[in-house]
Amino acid sequence: MRAMWIAFARPVFLLLLPVAGLLLWHSARDSFADLTGTRLRVAWAARVLLMLSLIMALAGMQVVRRSDELVVVFAVDESFSVPREERTRALDFIREALAMRRPQDRGALVYFGREASVESESLRRPGDVRDVARTAPTHTDIASGLRLALGLIPPGAAGKVVLLSDGNENVGAVAGELLLSRANKVSVDVVPLRTRKAQDVLVREIHTPSEARRGEPFPVRVAIEATQPTEATVTLIIDDEPTQTQSVALSAGASSLRVPVQIADPGFHKVQVLIEGAGDQCRENDLGMSFVRVKGKPRVLIVDQDPSELDAIRRGLRVQDVEVEVGGPEALPINVAELERYDSVFLSNYPAYRMTQHQMTMLRDSVRDLGIGLGMIGGEYSFGAGGYYRTPIEEALPVTMDINKQRVFPAAAVLLVMDTSGSMGMIEDGVEKIQLAAEAACAVVDLLQPYDAVGFIASDPKPTEVLPLTKLQSKESAKTTLRSVGAGGGGIACYPSLSAAYNVLKSNSSPIRHIIMLADGSDCDEQGGCVELASQMASEKITLTAIAFGDGPHVPFLKQVAAAGDGQYYLTQYARDLKKIFTRETLTVAKSALMEEPFRAQPQDASPVTSGIDWGSAPPLLGYVATSPKDLARMPLVSHKQDPVLAHWQYGLGRSVAFTSDAKNHWAAHWMQWPGFGKFWGQAVRYSLRQLSSGVLYPRVEAAGDAAMIVVDAVAQDGELLSGLDIQANVNLPDGSRRQVRLEQTAAGRYSAQVQTPVSGPYVVGLTAEGPEGFSATQTVGFAMAYPPDYADTEPNDALLAGIAEQTGGSVLTGAETVFTPPVEVPTVPIDIWRLLLWIAAVLLPIDVGVRRLLVTRDDVARAFAAAMSVVAAARARLRPRRIEAPSTAGHLLDHIKASRPERPVDVPRIELGTTRTGPDAARPADADIPRVEEPVASASSRGDGKPVADGDTFGRLLKKKRERREEDE
């Protein structure tokens, strides 16, 4: 039941009522003087209601209602710090409260952890409560839980929130939500839950200096906490390798440990401390992590598919006082913390499809934001031939893989034969695999020229020519067609698909004809005759490359087909790698990116990489990968065709180098014996190295909860505090994402900024400072969130819960009896009705004028009423269904007479003109010749010939009406 009353938003306008009354009385003496009786009463009523409506509208008249419905929203903490038995107790508490609610009341249920979610908006029975985990338990965000709970209370209903939590907030700030709760007059009752009481030993935090000298010991300070006295083992781990172990006796509560550390290798190192206590029941919080940079020789990583072929360059760089690490695919870092160990990274004949998108993006961003160097050394799997076209690595390099602008190539016809079965409809990286494959095909279109031809055959399982082989007059039209391909049903029918491709290409006259076939490694049908057909195509200069999607039982067959077709074979597990493979094939086969012929490198632009070397004595190189220089790049060495051999440029904070020939016993076989080989590579690598810090930025990071505070002290060499600097921090998160924040100056020479740390793992921060007169400085610092903050909670925060209840007018509940007790003060909802009052005034205004200006008698009202009723009756008649009957007319009567006559001839007496017949029968034939017809009853009217007219005769009535109108006209 709802109570309602009237209120005013602007009651000051009610002071107009007495003024309006005086005006009404004064104006009525003149305007109502001639009115009497009903007219006078109507005029007074209209005038009074009109003025009241206007004044009430100005005063903001409202209808205020209050409901006795009570909505109680239960917010349950499901973070890790709340044990399962406590969450069960919380749900039992809710069921008990629902059993005691009034019929008009209802409940709602919200779960919160890292975020909040609604479990139910309407709880009326204890059985409606379900234990369903919906949020990440790694954090406790009480603020989000209260915010969502307050949003579930409808306007006008009495509301209450019951918070069931241990109070260990580590995300957000609940204080802001308490202000909103008080503003809405919603109290928050709390039910304290207990925190885990299991035996636990955890690492609270670990401190290391940001920098250390090579070979010199530095301390690692570890803060430890134990819930019970216990024995524990402490293990020190450097770069994921355990280095020392010791046993310690821990008492209940907090304690600290100091571990001396000595690191010989320069670079950025990860330091971890693992503590294992006897009977420890929570392993997630046993590890602490930090980072330290050890000063020393620069460190370079060179990655190659076959590291054994890089012995010559490794020896040459060690002579140049550079620490070199050579490795295969496993050596390539997978996160920024690992990458920070090196001052430069070189990719030697390493294909793009052996790298993940995350690794390529990480390398590009680290060059730009952290100043790490990047180099690429040529080979059959480098640059465009390695599939780096339109990749993040290409963005950081000083050359582009698009070589169409450099020269004119022979026309090529590339035919794509692709498995479009149902497996290609699976989702990868948020999109269907078939869409990634279509984008790879579009990259092929982008690399080709208008005089080239491209086609697409889809096999599902029979071949369908989606894009006929034709010259690329419109690349966008071709790409639109390719992107329209969808996944279907069965696998690829190999022989029909290859046969269809062969029939298309054998009549094509392009100098280069190539097939790229993508097939499922586990589902290749109709394999018979494919190897023979591939051999026949190869004899006709039609090459074939086979790509196996997935390592299945049909991979050997695809290898045989590729070998017979004089092409390449690839195996990939991910559709995202298809673009790299397709572009490599296009650039090597159709665009001849590999230039394998002897030439001598010719110096062009002056550079520290090539200075001091006698290039006249340099032996020839035997090949290189064709590329195009970028606008801002420098080309110290070029080929005999003016293609880049050595190029470099500045990319953000870092430098990148491109050497398009190789550094092994293939294209550089003669160079490896040349005395300038070691010096050249030493200078090239040193040019790419990360620039040393200026020694003016001294950063530290203070992590707490889901955020970290970056603090930087800027101090000059002479000890002067540097103010007025613009310092930016590029924060690289463990999940590969990146954030940029600007540090604000908080004191002389001190700058700080807070960043969110939503993901556990290592964080690397690149700092850049700029100041007046061209001042600049860089520095890198690392920190880590070893585990989510909820794993560090060992005691409940009852003080926070009591404060929430006190500030909102709630209470700390021990039982469910008072949960659905209505609050003393129930919120009300005002409904504005001033618009309605204005409409009423608009209707009354013409009535007020009309009753004074127009004289309306009872006869006028009666006539108006009659006219209205006639209009209504006519409308009803038009809407009523009509019954259609055959009319009774004179024409129908004559037809009846004719139909009843015999067919024999009738003798009609002759009538002579000019004679008059007499007698009763002189005017008609004999009775025997005319059938007798029963005449209707005649009316008083008659036809023009004197015969009577029947009342029911329609023709007769029309004649009568016509005669009456004629008489009226006369």
Q: Which H helix or E strand runs over 88? A: helix 84-98
CA–CA distance, 805 with 163 (Å, rounded to integer): 9
Say yes or no to pLDDT of 620 above 60: yes
Residue 177 CA from chain centroid, whole number? 28
Task: Give the per-residue pLDDT at 895.
Answer: 55
CA–CA distance, 535 with 546 (Å, rounded to integer): 14
Task: Give the per-residue pLDDT at 128.
Answer: 82
CB 636 within 8 A of CB 604: yes
The arithmetic mean of pLDDT across residues 475-480, rounded, is: 90
Say yes or no to pLDDT of 145 above 90: yes
Structure tokens at 277: 């206590």
User: What does R_g of the chain's alpha carbons equal in angstroms?
Assistant: 48
CA–CA distance, 165 with 139 (Å, rounded to integer): 12
The angle subtended at Cα 846 by Cα 840 and Cα 851, nearest 5°, is 115
The 10s digit of each residue's pLDDT in 868-921 is 888 888 887 777 665 544 445 445 545 555 555 554 444 444 444 344 444 444
| Superfamily, domain 201-295 | Immunoglobulins (2.60.40.10)
The CA distances from residue 306 to 311, 348, 350, 433, in Å, are: 11, 9, 9, 31
Task: Find all residues with CB under 8 Å of 550, minimum gap 6, and list them.
Answer: 520, 521, 522, 573
End-to-end, the C-alpha distance of the chain in Å comes to 79
Give 374-439 as a DSSP string.
EEEE-STTSGGGGT-TTSHHHHHSSEES--TTT-----EEEEEEEE-SGGGGSEETTEEHHHHHHH
The 10s digit of each residue's pLDDT in 747-779 is 999 999 999 888 888 898 989 999 888 788 888
The verdict on domain 412-592 having CATH code 3.40.50.410 is: yes
CA–CA distance, 23 with 26 (Å, rounded to integer): 5
The 10s digit of each residue's pLDDT in 17-46 is 888 888 888 777 777 777 777 777 888 888
CB 906 within 8 A of CB 931: no
The CA distances from residue 474 to 403, 413, 437, 453, in Å, are: 20, 15, 20, 11
The CATH classification number of 69-196+793-825 equals 3.40.50.410
Task: Give the per-residue pLDDT at 745.
Answer: 94
Domain regions of the chain by residue span:
2-66+832-859, 69-196+793-825, 201-295, 299-374+595-603+617-663+670-688, 412-592, 697-782, 885-898+924-970
- Architecture (CATH level 2) of domain 697-782: Sandwich (2.60)
168-182, 583-597, 635-649: segment of lowest average pLDDT: 583-597
Beta-carbon-side half-sphere exposure of residue 462 (alpha carbons within 13 Å): 0
**Would you tell me how many other CB atoms lie within 10 Å of the CB of residue 46?**
20
Higher pLDDT among residues 187 and 850, named by residue: 187
CA–CA distance, 569 with 518 (Å, rounded to integer): 10
* Average pLDDT over all residues of the chain: 84
Q: Please tell me the total number of residues recorded for the chain in this structure.
A: 970
Q: Which CATH number fits domain 299-374+595-603+617-663+670-688: 3.40.50.880, 3.40.50.10420, 3.50.50.60, 3.40.50.1820?
A: 3.40.50.880
pTM, rounded to two decimals? 0.65
Residue from 326, 546, 566 nearest 416 by CA: 546
Check for a shared fold between 69-196+793-825 and 412-592: yes
pLDDT band at 127; cut points 50, 70, 90: confident
CB 364 within 8 A of CB 393: yes
CA–CA distance, 349 with 341 (Å, rounded to integer): 22
Say yes or no to pLDDT of 934 above 50: no
Among 567-576, 680-689, 930-939, name the most confident range: 680-689
The arithmetic mean of pLDDT across residues 924-929, rounded, is: 42
3-state class (DSSP) for residue 332? coil
